Amino acid sequence: MIVCKFGGSSVADAKQLKKVKAIVNKNEDRSILIVSAPGKRNKDDVKVTDLLYASNTAAKEKGDCSSEFSKIRSRYLEILSDLEIESAEMIEALDEVEKNINAGAGSDYAASRGEYLNARLIAIYFGWTFVDAQDLIVINDNGTINDETWTKTKAKLTGKNYVIPGFYGNSESGRVKTFSRGGSDISGAIISKAVDASVYENWTDVAGCYNADPRYIDGAYPISEMTYGEVRDLSIVGASVFHPEAIVPVHAAGIPINIRNTNSDEEPGTMITTSRDDADSEVIGVSAETGFIKVSVSRLLLMKEPGIYNVLSTMLKVHGISPVLTFINPDSICWISSSANVSDKALADLSFRLKDEYKMENVSTKKNMAVVGLVGQGLKKKPLAIANSINALDKANIEIDSIDFGTSDLCLYILVDQKNSKDAVQAIFDANFRK
């Protein structure tokens, strides 16, 4: 059995839905579909999910969302018309959703209805069975998946040919609860694990996971095969083809993920597996994420003091800093954190306390930093790749602030000024991947 998730661009209009149906019909094992809300049809378009957020805001502020919701209604009715489908069922579903948003069903409910309505529509178009994600997936208050999910899903999905909305499930209290944006990837992974799928196909508008962002990097091309760990490390440094949290369910079950292109389904895409035969032979990608701050402290024999790391970590959290990467040596610690919602005052107060209360000899903070990551299981056995990358940055006159492997065997982290991030990625790409 193959579980297929189709993203927003793949289900944006009737033309795309016809492609989806053709893809599914090519393989009878493709028997469970997870679908997103309709995405953008062109660069100036608006996603249905964003229209639903606007409808919810209007309902709260004005008590009526009819003006905003009319755009959503028109979008689905246009798809039905283009597919030459007349459906009283869809009209009733649209009416119900508008009524509930006006009645104050809440932002999670409103945001989830794009997937809900699209799954209803696609089930009608395919002649398949619609199953509401609320009847399958239970999301704990802390965002983790309740074990009840596996029992409910196995009991409900006993046959074939189901359409399930992505992005949401049921809260512990019985209300609609959404994942983060892009969470349909997570929904697909959960269903894949629950039904023990042979493959989880993730259909999108690109030909797989690229070895660099093709929007910015000249010469980037898709990776044919990579591991779960490599996907995770690339996502940490900005690659965004696949939702990083969606790796967890399929990784635990050993189910491969195949990222495919709806608009070019003959291409094999990227296969993500537990391991690959040539895992030690190459590095597989480079990416960068901007918007970081760096906080560094040093004192002679710093790490000899019992409990100092935990104390300092708590101090950072008190000032609103949650590190995503930490580099440590015997005399110093360097934390890399998102700069979102961290004020200059918070940094100044933190610096003062680190010096005054913990007697740090040096404390420094830097904003507007980027983390560049070179990823691959063969990285530590490829010193030439590391040397080529550093040399390429030197030739491009890009100053390296810090460099570290962290705790990963898969990723070399290089900290640079964010204004140089794209040039840094291009330089490292040219040194390692240029064909």
pLDDT tier at 240 (50, 70, 90 boundaries)? Answer: confident
Q: Whose structure tokens read 């040039």?
A: 423
Summarised one tens digit per residue, pLDDT across range 256-269 is: 999 999 999 999 99
pLDDT tier at 92 (50, 70, 90 boundaries)? Answer: very high
The CATH number of 285-432 is: 3.30.2130.10
Q: Residue 241's pLDDT is what?
A: 64
How far, in Å, CA of 310 to CA of 327, rounded? 14
Q: Residue 150's pLDDT is what?
A: 95
- Per CATH, 2-205 and 285-432 having the same topology is answered no
Domain ranges within the chain, ordered by starting residue: 2-205, 285-432
pLDDT exceeds cutoff 70 at 305: yes
Q: Residue 127's pLDDT is what?
A: 97
How far, in Å, CA of 388 to CA of 414, rounded? 13
Q: Residue 233's pLDDT is what?
A: 85
Structural contact between residues 274 and 215, judged by C-beta atoms closer than 8 angstroms: no
In the numeric block, which tokens belong to residue 161? 């040919």
CA dihedral sign, ordered 120, 125, 130, 133: negative
Per CATH, domain 2-205 is 3.40.1160.10: yes
> What are the Cα distances from residue 290, in Å, to 72, 216, 239, 367, 407?
34, 14, 12, 10, 21
Structural contact between residues 162 and 33, judged by C-beta atoms closer than 8 angstroms: yes
Q: Is 273 helix (H, G, I), strand (E, B) or coil?
A: strand
pLDDT exceeds cutoff 70 at 406: no
Q: Residue 421's pLDDT is what?
A: 96
Summarised one tens digit per residue, pLDDT across range 328-372 is: 989 999 999 999 889 999 999 999 999 999 999 999 999 999 999
In the chain, the largest separation of any two C-alpha atoms, in whole Å, equals 75
| Percentage of residues in the chain having pLDDT higher than 90 | 79
pLDDT exceeds cutoff 60 at 100: yes
pLDDT exceeds cutoff 60 at 385: yes
